[in-house]
Structure 1
């Protein structure tokens, strides 16, 4: 075995394939965004064309590499989504029951509908469960990509609707990951007994809940004091964004590795890590707001005395008023100018200091360009590698897949009902009909956004298909794949249509 890698120039074929692949991501994304308001579908299509399903211009080793690199993009967009969650903690707590209800509906209804596969198409009950597990997921990466590129004048992630949607999508993905572990254990079981299977499942569930519980005191009593100490030190100004980038990198890598080695989803790990950063952002914002209010209060309570009184030597010219214990740079300009004589030029505006860097500004500066133009396209392209494109086009498979898709569309779309009936505190009482009319755009947006299955659905279905004791036969796997692919296409299309039609009205009815 060689002790080092031998460097050699890549072939012109490899250079042309790779460069065209990376460039066409943007072209396909623009065309799909223009035609369907869902640019990620163009990137998935490009993955199908360049990958194993069709032309196979990308070597298998390249595809495996791009799957890993693309998954880093998925983790980063989840991390960014939670870092940017500026909703207050009381609001998050108030919306937690709503997110839970949405998530349970999006999980249980598709699984329940999947058991219809047994009488309709002859699926064994365990195979129907495996198909339902694959279709119970919600593509968190797709949801974040959709609401981040909505084109609206508001950030949907910072609204109550976006908070409830992201919380439900994350819960669905975490439970789907647990189900994938169960499907894998069932498929690889060697009759060693149910105790071992139960122990593995219990560990996955326990770690998932335990990680979230442990993160609360650790953040409050360890991470938060260390962060506040850093922000008040000289290093905040010398290290600036580099220090914040290091903090995010350590937390991102640590939570990803910790969650996976502990036995739960890396997506859940970075989700919790993002919430930690969001908490630190809100803590610093609250302290800054308190400091500003204190400064304003000190200005309001300042005593003004006649300048004819001797105070600290010299009175103000022109018989004007002079302030006790003043700091020139803290006096509001409109107030100070009103006390200057007409012939006195206003004081020079103090030189503005550069705004201190924040976690979000650091992420935008260092990571966002790489994420938007490389990592996310590679992620959505890697979904295309996993779609068995040619075998899907069998007559019997097509119509069965379409029928199953209709049930799966309905199963996730029903989650929007929660928006119609959930009470909003402080809202003026209106008639039931007016409430339905105001909230219908929000309900449609949430229902369509929950439909896309994407990477998690394909992962679970392939686990069920490739285990030693198959949980899905070939035709059953193709029918399930049809439902996953069509849902991943139709969900973003529906979201694009709702946003284009209703624009900012999607958050009317108290969901802003």
Structure 2
């Protein structure tokens, strides 16, 4: 007997709840952007109100669906971050990014052992806490770096590239730590330490991470880029449409996310390197050659009135330079310069969907994953605040590498900016803490879980607000010291 899902008209109350949820996510994002320069905080608040923590207006099945939809939004925004990067700049700054990432990883873990005497954590539980707070919310970082939030495209500068690559490194390592905690939690319950399983998981994740990067590099260099060049020249560029370019991006995106997830590393890493591959392909598009020293895409010289849209991320249009004379043998058809490119197609087709729907749902889903009511216990609050201060310092110190790297005192504003941008923990921190809390043999008891949640929440507030303050106060001066 055949079967199918029974179609039923949604109730009026369901329609009102869903429509108001989607609308208010954007409204509160707009208000929080105006007041705090961090629209995501307003969307997280709406998630707390509508979801399980308070009103419980969203059914559990809806919350599960919104988590999945929101995570797609996170993957897409990570893809956009990779596509907005400069490959040459990323390569040159890889040692600096590695130092920033290692500092942001090791300092929170080391500082978390203060929980042993302060809150009577065991050493294993303190390590679980440090693992949750060692991550950096890549989604939050990309949201606060968006051009519509700060007035210029910081993602394509040296400072932005170093920040994004450090954040993705921390998230990949956080994914490894998730596997470690799962093995420890399962092994503790069975009396088995699981040392062999931990080693196998770590080795597999590291090997897959490196292998995927190398494989995509070779594929992009010898297959994808030549094919993309040919596509833009064949039949006078008639194959180059927004639909065909969107298909190219979707295939690369889905392929790398699937490869990363099934192979055993973070899907976020797959989305990021897929974006890097598309950035590499976009260099094959006709247009002015990129300058040797990357400069910021500035707005017009006169100071415009700052405009806000409902979501925090709508790309600011930048002046389009007139196409230069085509060099000999570059492209057969001069009209191909008028064809859309990968970045412009993404901004025009995917950007509105991402900014008005996927990202608000993502940050809203973070909100109802926060155990809001149990947090307000005296014995938990003061411990959580002290731990949060330590975790802010643990990530804030990352910015010192900018001062040490070239020893330029004029770069201290960029150092402060990097430190503030690395603070937010967000979705990855909540994921790791909940895994540690719900393992077979829990690595966190209830009070410990709530203390860690306090630290995650406070850091996720302080990071975006601090970045907004720095940009308002210094503007483009944060790029002083050669970080433009």
User: TM above 0.5, one fold?
Assistant: yes
Match of 1:221 in 2: 222
Trace 1:38-53 onto structure 2 (pairs within 5 A).
38-53=38-53
CA distance in 1, matches of 2:233, 2:288: 12
Trace 1:82-481 onto structure 2 (pairs within 5 A).
82-85=82-85, 87-89=86-88, 91-149=89-147, 151-189=149-187, 190=190, 191=192, 193-234=194-235, 236-285=237-286, 295=327, 355-423=338-406, 435-436=408-409, 438-481=410-453
Match of 1:55 in 2: 55
Deviations 1:255-310 (A, max 9, x none): 1111000001000001111111111112335897899566599xxxxxxxxxxxxx
CA distance in 2, matches of 1:249, 1:94: 28
Match of 1:503 in 2: 475
Contact 1:150 1:496 in 2 (8 A): no
CA distance in 2, matches of 1:385, 1:2: 37
Q: How many Å apart are 1:217 and its aligned residue?
A: 1.2
Q: What SS does structure 1 have at the residue aligned with 2:283?
A: helix
CA distance in 2, matches of 1:234, 1:366: 24
CA distance in 2, matches of 1:2, 1:188: 41
Q: What SS does structure 2 have at the residue aligned with 1:220?
A: helix
CA distance in 2, matches of 1:273, 1:414: 30
Contact 2:45 2:364 in 1 (8 A): yes
Q: What SS does structure 1 have at the residue aligned with 2:284?
A: helix
CA distance in 2, matches of 1:503, 1:288: 27
CA distance in 2, matches of 1:496, 1:289: 29
Q: In terms of mean alpha carbon deviation, does 53-62 or 185-194 score higher?
A: 185-194
Trace 1:12-27 onto structure 2 (pairs within 5 A).
12-27=12-27
CA distance in 1, matches of 2:199, 2:327: 59
CA distance in 2, matches of 1:287, 1:276: 20
Change (3 A) 1:240 1:475: same
CA distance in 1, matches of 2:35, 2:150: 18
Contact 2:287 2:337 in 1 (8 A): no
Contact 2:228 2:284 in 1 (8 A): no
Q: How many Å apart are 1:198 and its aligned residue?
A: 2.0
Q: How many Å apart are 1:235 and its aligned residue?
A: 7.9
Q: How many Å apart are 1:478 and its aligned residue?
A: 0.4
Q: What is the Cα-based RMSD across aligned positions, in Å?
A: 2.3
Does residue 33 of structure 1 match 2:68?
A: no
Q: How many Å apart are 1:6 and its aligned residue?
A: 1.0
Deviations 1:443-464 (A, max 9, x none): 1111110000000000000000
Q: How many residues in Structure 1 have an aligned counterpart in Structure 2?
A: 447
Deviations 1:198-255 (A, max 9, x none): 2222212211121112221121112122212211112842451111111101111111
Match of 1:324 in 2: none
Deviations 1:90-136 (A, max 9, x none): x2222101100000000000000001111211100000000000000
Deviations 1:142-189 (A, max 9, x none): 000000045444310011100000010010111011101111121123
Match of 1:315 in 2: none
Q: What SS does structure 2 have at the residue aligned with 1:391?
A: helix
CA distance in 1, matches of 2:337, 2:220: 29
CA distance in 2, matches of 1:30, 1:152: 14
CA distance in 1, matches of 2:76, 2:346: 10
CA distance in 1, matches of 2:214, 2:265: 14
Q: What SS does structure 2 have at the residue aligned with 1:40?
A: helix
CA distance in 2, matches of 1:354, 1:97: 36
CA distance in 2, matches of 1:289, 1:133: 40
Contact 1:152 1:504 in 2 (8 A): no
Does residue 485 of structure 1 match 2:461?
A: no
Change (3 A) 1:150 1:92: same
Change (3 A) 1:82 1:235: farther
Q: What SS does structure 1 have at the residue aligned with 2:7?
A: coil
CA distance in 2, matches of 1:469, 1:62: 29
User: What is the TM-score with the length of structure 1 in the denominator?
Assistant: 0.83
Q: What SS does structure 2 have at the residue aligned with 1:471?
A: coil
CA distance in 2, matches of 1:225, 1:40: 40
CA distance in 1, matches of 2:450, 2:326: 64
Bigger Rg, structure 1 or 2? 1
Unaligned runs of 5+ in 2: 292-322
CA distance in 2, matches of 1:129, 1:414: 20
CA distance in 2, matches of 1:496, 1:284: 34
Q: In terms of mean alpha carbon deviation, does 63-72 or 278-287 score higher?
A: 278-287
Unaligned runs of 5+ in 1: 298-329, 331-351, 424-431
Q: What SS does structure 2 have at the residue aligned with 1:256?
A: helix
CA distance in 2, matches of 1:239, 1:231: 6
Match of 2:76 in 1: 76
